Every structure is written in C-alpha cells, then in structure tokens.
Amino acid sequence: MSEQLKSKLKELEMRKKELQPKIDEINKKREEELEKINKKYDHLIYDINYTAQQIEDEFYNDLISSFIQIVTREFDLKRSSEMYEVSEEFKIYKEEIAQFDIFPEELINKMHRVINGEPIETIMYDIEKIQKKYMKT
C-alpha cells in the first residue's frame, strides 16, 4: 500500500511539472490583461482627480478673490470716511472665512490684526504679493 501511495505521489508531482508551463502562460496572460485594465482605470481615476482638483482650485481662488475684494472695499471705506472704523461686514467676513480649512491662516491673522487696530493699509499695500502667492493657476 505504501508503494502504491509513493507511486501516486510521484505521478502527482510529474503531472504538476507538466502543467506548470501552462500555469505560467496563463499567469503571464493574466498579468498582461491586468496591466491593460489598470492603465484604463488609472487614466479614468486621473481624469476624475484632475477635474476635482480644478474645482477645488477654482473654489480656493474664489476665496482669495473674496479676500481681496473685502480688503479693497474696506480700504476704500477708510479713504472715504473721516472717522474710519472697521466695518461689521469685514468682521463677519473674517469669522465666516475662518471656517474654511483651506483658507490660509496667514490671511486670517492679517484680518485679525486689522480688527485689533492695525491699519488696513498693511494688507492693501501687499495685496498684489498676496494675490501672486495664493492664487492658483
């Protein structure tokens, strides 16, 4: 009985060896097909991520533009008023914009300093630098 089992085991090993080239060929084809599929889906994922990034960049630029607009408006208010005081709109804007995690903390801090008495000119004179630094192309 033991000889019979040994013989079966040898036969099994021989058959495995015979089948291995076929298995290797199938695995190679599978890898090639998987590579094609991965390329296709990688391209689709890239397209979606690119679109999402464009939307995020556009939103971010809108935030920066709104900052520039509120600072410009505040600066114009100060120039047209004898008794300048930071507007409520500016204060509310600062609080609301701070809720957006992607909005630069540096700009929030600049607004905070203006609310606490620093002249609006400190931001206004750097507005072009701010725009160049933060606007995404």
Paired tokens of 20: 């291995």
Which amino acid does the sequence have at 52?
A: A
Q: Tokens 């097909």: give the residue.
A: 33
pLDDT digits 0-9 by tens, 81-127: 877 799 999 999 999 999 999 999 999 999 999 999 999 999 999 99
Distances from the Cα of 14 to the Cα of 7, 23, 96, 133, angstroms = 11, 14, 75, 70
* Distance from C-alpha of 109 to C-alpha of 105, rounded to nearest angstrom: 6
User: What is the predicted pLDDT for the residue at 2?
Assistant: 84
pLDDT confidence tier of residue 5, bands split at 50, 70 and 90: confident
